[in-house]
Structure 1
Amino acid sequence: MRIKVEKLKSLLEQIDEFLLAINEAEKHQLDSLEKVAKPYRKSARNLVHYRAFRTFDLRDFQKSMRDLGLSRFANAEGHIRASLLNTRLILQALIKDDGKQLLKSGLSIKRARRLLASHTKQLLGYRSPGRRVRIMVTQPSEAANNYELVEQLVKKGMNVVRVNCAHDTPEVWWAIIENAQRAAKASGRKVKIAMDLAGPKIRTGAITEGPEVRKFKPLRNELGQIIQPAIILLVPELGETSAENTLPVGQLALDDLAIGDELRLRDTRNKKRKISIIDRNAEGHLVATCRKTTYVASGMVLEHSKASGKVLVVGKLPPKEHYLLLKEGDTLQVTRAAIPGESAVYDQEGNCIKSAHISCQLPEVFNKIKKDHTVLFDDGKIFTKVTEVNEDYFQVTILRASEKGAKLRAEKGINFPQTELGISGLTAKDKEDLKFVAQYADIVNFSFVNSKADVEELFVELEQLGALNQLGVILKIETRLAYNNLSEILMTAMQSKQVGVMIARGDLAVETGWDNIGLVQDEILAHCSAAHLPVVWATQVLENMAKNGLPSRAEITDTTTSLRAECVMLNKGAYINDAIELLDKILKDMEQYHNKKEVMLAKRTKLSVS
């Protein structure tokens, strides 16, 4: 193949332009680079180079390089200057240029790979045999008192134990850590302990409680015939784990009743109903049946059919969980005060005379929200726009919800992708929890980081606790602001000696838009690769498998994509052992064909608000 010299010279000129840009960028970042911890100094410099390189639109350049059979820089993030210099020498040789002087790159391709491997080992610990990618597993509360569960997780291939400070108590956290350390020692393996700080709680507030009632319904076939009557368990009182089919009637009532007795009542709809006692279980509780649908409420009277005038009174039942049903076009008031939420009120003609309302648990929101801002509820299931802003509330109109309406419940997440809330990633609770984390964990997962100021605040707290450079830090990238500030966040984070990034894809997809999440996660992977920082691939990995025992095809595809990271996070579920086993096999099998795999994209731009 004859190559035009003019074409080669053009490519050489472009490479010289790239090199000039990265050298200039390094000069402008000298102050920031001097602040970076020594183990990350070369990595930080390479990140500056990569950022400068990505200010160019590379697509035409890459096509020309591909046609020549030369590097397209598709995997060059970790050693961009060395790759450019090596390619320059090749082009010079092709055009028989005299300038074949070997320039010192500062960071070889092999050295770049070793830096990432070293940083990963330092932060996430040893890898499992035959598998480069580590596995992190979120621990359920049960792990505190079920050693066998934790032991199985370790044996199946868990490398990092994740404890979420948003749940449970320090006593439970410590019990989980003890079981993990004991299981690791018994298995001859090493595991790291990572603990998530909860971060600011931007969630919906409480909703007015529903009625204290329970429904008992027999099972019928397609012809309406009863296959099995409703089973009711009569107990002295309800406990935290009592099943939905239990009714509290007091111990005296249980002692007076016998198998074969019947109880009569009028349910909440004033329907006559009959409950028949058929058995007494090992705990002394009575098993009863009902052959018609029955609604039983707290305080309801049950009459003994064989003893005239003798009655039982149903004890207190838990209130039904209420929700707000929201449809497209509806309005919703979000209140500053913690007023229990209520559904909309309509007149007889179906006209709304009072909008539904619910509170937001973070009052700072009300100082920042503006008209026409987008607000999303419940992982983006409800898409709204602000139509009115007042001191005590703001009002939104529902622009997108499910066809039959979306159910908004208490404690559901709220996202403000267009609103710069200006809140710190560290809450008062986080600072208190950090004391425990610094003492007993290996890694802190830092939630809701938005800027370099958040990272600096965390480092100040760690320094005061004597844990800076002792405790690993994983930054959870989960907002639009964090993505747009990614480069300066990473530069600041590398002032510490053990740093990684978690791509929290759930909130990130809601914040940046579902149409952008593919690009966003690729950009985060690429920037972390340039900085030689390990990445945790998180949110809904093999979720169906962990919860239901069977993965979806999309989950398998997603799992193979996770090979581009250094660690994959699984969430808890009834089938978590099976999920770890499957993930371990997929990663080991796929690593025979792929290592880290990244791509170069067009010129990087910040996400615009639409």
Structure 2
Amino acid sequence: MHIRDLSRIRHNTKIIATLGPASCNVKLLRDMIAAGGLNIVRLNFSHGTPESHRAAAETVREAARQAGQEVALMADLQGPKIRIGKIAGGGLDVRTGDMLVFDAAYEGEGGRERIGLDYRELPDDVQPGDVLLLDDGLLALTVDSVSGSEIRAVAENARFLKSGKGINKRGGGLSAGSFTEKDFRDLNTALDIGCDYLAVSFVKNAEDMKIARDLAAAGGKGGLPPGLVAKIERIEAVRNLDSIIEASDGIMVARGDLAVEVGNAAVPALQKRMIRRARELRRFSITATQMMESMITNPVPTRAEVSDVANAVLDGTDAVMCSAETAVGAYPFETVRQMAAICAAAEKEQDSLIGTVDDFDDSRRTDHAIAGGAVHVAREVDAKAIVTLTESGTTAFQISRYGIQIPIYALTPHPAAQRRMAMYRGVRPLHLQTSLHRDTALEQVEAELVKLGILKSGERYIITSGTKMRESGSTDTLQIMCAK
């Protein structure tokens, strides 16, 4: 039993933890939320059943209730299974120069003679000279020949190859779509249990996200459909980056499969580019994969992992994500807490993000103008906080695009909007039912913030609101206030 430090760490960058056997209990999750800094919980739909996901969601909601803080649920769809089939004995030793035969028509357990494929279209997608990368790129094979359902390929290095490992083609070009029948079923499950975000795997273009949006439009509990996250892990997605970002609510820099397709060396620069473009186009970004990998078995991260998380924060990412570290690792609480501490330390060195969305915005939208004005005025008057009354969270999100260190408090009467805002960097969402009369509502907001110790008498703050209360998209007013 590890002694947990339950003191609160304040950080603007949001933290996502993947739920699994190591973390799926109410007490641990409560501590991860209340003290560890956990904001979003990821349900990995590559594993589990509809019943297990429903039970997991209930566990998360109960933990959040006990912690007194709403967290978002993100359902991560599996996408197409681009994998090899089963191998007798669980795997085989592959030596440099070995010829392997992959057979899309083979149904039995594989071996040295041939190995089956879950992805039956692979023979149509490759030709002699292509490089196949298995097991996250740890085994490379060059295609020698393709005949019917068979692919013959020569191993370029030695590796023990286990059953069910993934296949990528260097340079991309696999024709598998983003949605499978399983994904359609899982999407309905995610909507049924009230997931706040839906992550779509192996996105190739904006059309994939438009399909997801159409499917999700009728879902979402509390009247708010789930936000859509495009996972950028294919080379085709990099080529179509801007249109995919614009068709999504946010993107995930999914560095595992992406690195296999484009090469490890290309990923850091792509990460910076993707995070920057998401912010410029007024979308959020998540950075994922192996951020704290050593903490699966160790109680502290490596220096390289600390730098990795800090650099993602300095790049301007909205959220950083743990996968196996919290799903099956020995130290899920410590992982989240360490991540929170790294985020907080990096943010201290960052007055605001380099450049602003205004440099790229020609929409002339009222909410964009109000957001930019709030940031500018808050800096000029040395405001303690920026406060926004919001129905959907849109105004708070637009303010968050500037990456300022001034805290943004978003007050909403809707729990679904409160959970949605858990993703936005720098936004601290609060639930508050206010009067329909604006002046009375402003008094209620100030009283609540003073009661919570967020504001003290005499401190200045900026507040945004709408002349039409309780109407989404009506924010049109910005005021400088002084707490009484």
How would you bin the TM-score normalised by the shorter chain?
0.5 to 0.7
Given candidates 157, 165, 184, the residue that maps to 1:412 is: 165
Aligned counterparts of 1:382 and 1:490: Cα–Cα separation in 2: 32
**Structure 2 residue aligned with 1:384:** 141
* 2:264 match: secondary structure: coil
Task: Report if aligned partners of 2:16, 2:42 keep a CA contact under 8 Å in 1.
Answer: yes
Structure 1: which 5+ runs fail to align? 1-127, 210-321, 345-355, 494-498, 601-610
Task: Report if aligned partners of 2:22, 2:330 keep a CA contact under 8 Å in 1.
Answer: no
Aligned counterparts of 2:308 and 2:64: Cα–Cα separation in 1: 29
Task: Report if aligned partners of 2:86, 2:110 keep a CA contact under 8 Å in 1.
Answer: no
Task: Report if aligned partners of 1:137, 1:161 keep a CA contact under 8 Å in 2.
Answer: yes
The answer to whether the aligner puts 1:432 opposite 2:185 as a matched pair is yes
How many residue pairs end up in the alignment?
A: 340
Given candidates 319, 324, 327, the residue that maps to 1:567 is: 319
The answer to whether the aligner puts 1:548 opposite 2:295 as a matched pair is no
Residue by residue, what CA displacement relative to the aligned partner does 1:241-273 show, whole Å, maximum 9, x if unpaired? xxxxxxxxxxxxxxxxxxxxxxxxxxxxxxxxx
The answer to whether the aligner puts 1:455 opposite 2:203 as a matched pair is no
Counting only pairs closer than 5 Å after superposition, residues 105-254 of structure 1 correspond to structure 2 as: 130-141=10-21, 143-144=23-24, 146-155=25-34, 156-209=36-89
One-letter amino acid of the structure 2 residue matched with residue 566 of structure 1: D
* 1:516 match: secondary structure: helix
Given candidates 234, 240, 245, the residue that maps to 1:485 is: 240
Residue by residue, what CA displacement relative to the aligned partner does 1:122-167 show, whole Å, maximum 9, x if unpaired? xxxxxx97311000000004555x2222222212111001101111
Instruction: Pick closer, same or farther for the CA change 1:181–1:392 going to 2, 3 Å.
Output: same
Higher Cα Rg: structure 1 or 2? Answer: 1
Residue by residue, what CA displacement relative to the aligned partner does 1:456-477 show, whole Å, maximum 9, x if unpaired? 2212222365789621111110
1:597 is displaced (CA, Å) by: 4.9
Task: Report if aligned partners of 2:206, 2:243 keep a CA contact under 8 Å in 1.
Answer: yes
1:415 is displaced (CA, Å) by: 0.6
**TM-score if structure 1 supplies the norm length?**
0.53
The alignment yields a C-alpha RMSD, in angstroms, of 2.2
Residue by residue, what CA displacement relative to the aligned partner does 1:302-330 show, whole Å, maximum 9, x if unpaired? xxxxxxxxxxxxxxxxxxxx322112221
Counting only pairs closer than 5 Å after superposition, residues 277-426 of structure 1 correspond to structure 2 as: 322-344=90-112, 356-399=113-156, 401=157, 405-426=158-179
Instruction: Pick closer, same or farther for the CA change 1:514–1:599 going to 2, 3 Å.
Output: farther
1:599 is displaced (CA, Å) by: 9.2
Aligned counterparts of 2:74 and 2:29: Cα–Cα separation in 1: 15
Instruction: Pick closer, same or farther for the CA change 1:532–1:143 going to 2, 3 Å.
Output: same
Task: Report if aligned partners of 1:206, 1:338 keep a CA contact under 8 Å in 2.
Answer: no
Identity over the aligned pairs, expressed in percent? 28
**Structure 1 residue aligned with 2:348:** 592
Task: Report if aligned partners of 1:525, 1:598 keep a CA contact under 8 Å in 2.
Answer: no
Task: Report if aligned partners of 2:32, 2:337 keep a CA contact under 8 Å in 1.
Answer: no
Residue by residue, what CA displacement relative to the aligned partner does 1:500-556 show, whole Å, maximum 9, x if unpaired? 111011111111111211221122112112112111110011111243223112111
Aligned counterparts of 2:62 and 2:351: Cα–Cα separation in 1: 32
Counting only pairs closer than 5 Å after superposition, residues 461-610 of structure 1 correspond to structure 2 as: 461-463=215-217, 465=219, 470-493=225-248, 499-563=249-313, 564=315, 565-571=317-323, 572=326, 573-594=329-350, 597=353
* 2:305 match: secondary structure: helix
Instruction: Pick closer, same or farther for the CA change 1:581–1:491 going to 2, 3 Å.
Output: closer
**TM-score if structure 2 supplies the norm length?**
0.66
* 1:200 match: secondary structure: coil
Task: Report if aligned partners of 2:143, 2:153 keep a CA contact under 8 Å in 1.
Answer: yes
One-letter amino acid of the structure 2 residue matched with residue 549 of structure 1: P
Task: Report if aligned partners of 1:163, 1:195 keep a CA contact under 8 Å in 2.
Answer: yes
* 1:551 match: secondary structure: coil
1:598 is displaced (CA, Å) by: 5.7
Aligned counterparts of 2:307 and 2:102: Cα–Cα separation in 1: 39
**Structure 2 residue aligned with 1:352:** none
